[in-house]
A and B are shown apart, each in its own frame.
Chain A
Amino acid sequence: MAGDTQQTGTEYIQHHLTNLTYGQHPENGWSFAHNAQEASEMGFMAVNVDSLGWSFGLGVIFLLLFRWAAKRATTGVPSGWQNFVEMMVEFVDGTVKDSFHGRNPWIAPMALTIFVWVFLMNLMDLIPVDVIPWLMLQAGVHFQKIVPSTDPNITLGMALAVFAMIIYYSIKVKGVGGFLGELTLQPFSAKNPVIQAVFVPINLALELVGLLAKPFSLGLRLFGNMYAGEMIFILIAMMYSAGWVLGTFGGALQLGWAIFHILIITLQAFIFMVLTVVYLSMAHEDH
């Protein structure tokens, strides 16, 4: 238990849910936050170094591994790693072709990036919760959250990028007028211009909610699932300090939850990818 036996359960959980934050504290200036209190006092001008670091590192690992395969890609008989990469590419390509009917060369590579990257970020959940924080503690770093997708900044950051692309492609395909028309002239419409004018604000309110719900549901779904999963791992890990009977039981629970979690992390990565493709497909469709 994080090497500190004096911790209470609440403290243990809290410790595990605190990011390593570097930011501008109103009193201490630019520094690492020493506790959750300080981190929240930093407000917006702060960076969760652990989330962003792990996330970026995993992205780099993904791209390096796939780049390695792409560089040595032969048209002959593929072997080993290239086989796996091609399998992933084919799978993503198939999924994109199923739900995206427009012509946009960016969608498929983006879907691949999302799927593999989110999967890798989720995969960090399967590493026993105490291993890396403990190692970091030995190195003098007090907080470490290693699953980037349990940080809403990460998931909402990606969702926001998707949202920006939705807006961009909506305007690019339909024009500003078309996009605004889509927001204001449906679902209610009337032939009479006066009644139509009444409908416009109602339509706008409805459509704006629908539009804004997309990135939020996208980001919060992933965050919620991974956060809950992480929480259960933390709760199970607390049993290890409660004697060997409960500890053994906790080990069995952890194994079971981890096996079940393999399904969840893959599914969440897949859902994030498919929803992104579907949203962008909707952005490309002209009514």
Chain B
Amino acid sequence: MNINLTLFGQLISFLFFVWFCKKFVWTAIINAMEERQKKIADGLDAADRASRDLELAQERATERLKEAKQEAASILEQANKRANQIVGEAKEQARAEGDRLKAAAQAEIEQDVNRAKEELRKKVAVLALAGAEKILQANIDESANSALVDKLAAEL
């Protein structure tokens, strides 16, 4: 347990180790730790920002959705209106066409009836003439009596 040169050996080793520790150990580790701290802080910041952005985006999306819904509703309304209009127009047209067809048919029928009447009248005249011939037993001069017959036919 003598005090000897070991004392100074230890003293010098100690100073050397402190120097080495500061130069090659402490600085590197402290720097790494500080840098990591900064990185983590930045990361947290970014996360905060991202969540804020997300909130904003969600808000915007909701708004957009609402707008879209409104637009869709208005489009639907317009479409319904237009459809009703088209249906109304079509009905109108159909009715007009029907009326027109009916009128045409009636006119044709009338024409047919008139034609039939005319023919009938003519046939009746011929029949009446034949009947009168038979009754008179004589040939009536057709040309002489035709005026008469026509008159008769017209009266029928």
Contacts and interface: CB of A to CB of B under 8 A. Distances in A.
Interface string A58-77: 01001100110111011110
Contact of B6 (A85, A86, A108, A154): A154
Contact of A66 (B4, B25, B33): B25
B32 A75 contact: yes
B28 interface: yes
A74 B5 CA distance: 42
Interface residues of B, number: 31
Contacts, number: 132
Interface in B1-46: 1-11, 13-15, 17-18, 20-22, 24-26, 28-33, 35-36, 39
Choose among A76, A85, A113, A161 the residue with the greatest number of B CB atoms under 10 Å from its CB.
A113
A45 B5 contact: yes
Given A106-B22, A160-B11, A161-B15, A48 B4 contact: yes
Interface stretch (A35-43, A174-182, A205-213, A235-243): A35-43
B70 to A, nearest CB: 50
Interface stretch (A49-57, A133-141, A186-194, A255-263): A49-57
Specify the main secondary structure of chain A where it touches its partner: helix
Contacts of B17: 59, 62-63, 113, 117
Contact of B4 (A42, A71, A93, A110): A42
A96 B4 CA distance: 32
17 contacts: A21-B2, A47-B9, A52-B10, A63-B21, A63-B25, A69-B25, A70-B24, A70-B28, A73-B32, A76-B36, A78-B36, A109-B25, A110-B18, A112-B25, A152-B3, A153-B4, A157-B9
> Which 4 pairs show the lowest CB-CB distances between chains A and B?
A157-B10, A153-B6, A109-B22, A73-B32
Interface of A: 17, 21, 23, 39-40, 42-48, 51-52, 55-56, 59, 62-63, 66-67, 69-71, 73-76, 78, 85-86, 89-90, 93, 105-106, 108-110, 112-113, 117, 148, 151-154, 156-158, 160-161, 164
